[in-house]
Copies of this chain bind each other. A is one copy, B any other.
Amino acid sequence: MYSVAIEDYLKSLWKLGPKNVGTQELADNLDVTPASATKMIQRLTERGLVDHIPYRGASLTKKGELEALSVVRRHRLLETFLSQTLGLGREQLHDEAEKLEHALSKNLENAIADYLGNPKRDPHGHPIPGPNGELYNETDLPLSDSPLNMSLTVMQVPDDDSNVLSWLEKNGIHPGIQLKILSRDDFDGGINVSINNRKIRISSSIASLVKISFED
C-alpha cells in the first residue's frame, strides 16, 4: 500500500510525537536533508496522513497514526519472531526488523502474531500495538528517576542502539530482571544499582533509557 519511504516517515513522526515535530528533527531522524523532509511532509499532508502548519511543524492525523502503528506492530512482531525462532540477540533485532517490516503482508503478520500467541511486548519490552492500533496504557517509568531501595523490575530497554544494548546485556540488564537503586550521584545523575548481589554503576544517559515498574 504505502511505500517504504512513506512508512519510514510515519514511523519517525510517531516516534518523535505526539508533539508537533520540526522539519530538522524529522530529517535528522531519517538521515535526509530538511528540504527532503519538507517535500515529503507536503506529500503526506496531501494524502491526509499528516497535519502540517508551515514553519510550525507536523503531526500525524488519526489516519497517519494508525498507519504508523501498523508499521510499529510489524516491527515488534518481527523482532519477537526472530528472537524466538532464531535466537537472535536483542542488539541484532532492530536492524533486521527495520528492513523486513515493509515487506510483511497482513497475512504473514497475522500468522506470526498467532504463532507467538499475540504477545503484548517485544524482546525489548516495548508494547506491541494490536491489529487495529490498540496500544495499552503505558505506565513504566524511567530508571533514572526511580526511588532508592525499592525492588524494581526492568520492563523496557532501548531497541535501536546496539552499543547500549550490548552493554546492558553484558551487565545482565534486560526485561524481567530485578534490581534496586542503592544510591544516586547528585552531580551527574549516575546511579549505583544492585542486581543479584552484584553492584553496577549505570550512567544517567543509559538509566534514562531503561524503563521499570514496581510490580514483580
Contacts and interface: CB of A to CB of B under 8 A. Distances in A.
A102 B96 CA distance: 12
A86 B100 contact: no
Interface in A85-103: 85-86, 88, 92, 95-96, 99-100, 102-103
Given A102-B103, A103-B102, A103-B103, A108 B85 contact: no
A108 B96 CA distance: 7
* Secondary structure dominating the interface of A: helix
Contact of A92 (B81, B96, B102, B107): B107
A55 interface: no
Contact of A103 (B82, B99, B107, B108): B99
Contacts of A100: 100, 103-104
Interface string A15-59: 000000000000000000000000000000000000000000000
Interface string A70-81: 000000000001
Contact of A111 (B88, B99, B111): B88
Contacts of A86: 108, 111-112, 115
Contacts of A111: 86, 88
Contacts of A95: 105
Given A103-B102, A107-B92, A85 B85 contact: yes
Interface string A173-187: 000000000000000
A1 to B, nearest CB: 12
Interface of A: 81-82, 85-86, 88, 92, 95-96, 99-100, 102-105, 107-108, 111-112, 115
14 contacts: A85-B85, A86-B108, A86-B112, A86-B115, A88-B111, A92-B107, A95-B105, A96-B105, A96-B107, A99-B105, A100-B100, A100-B103, A100-B104, A102-B103
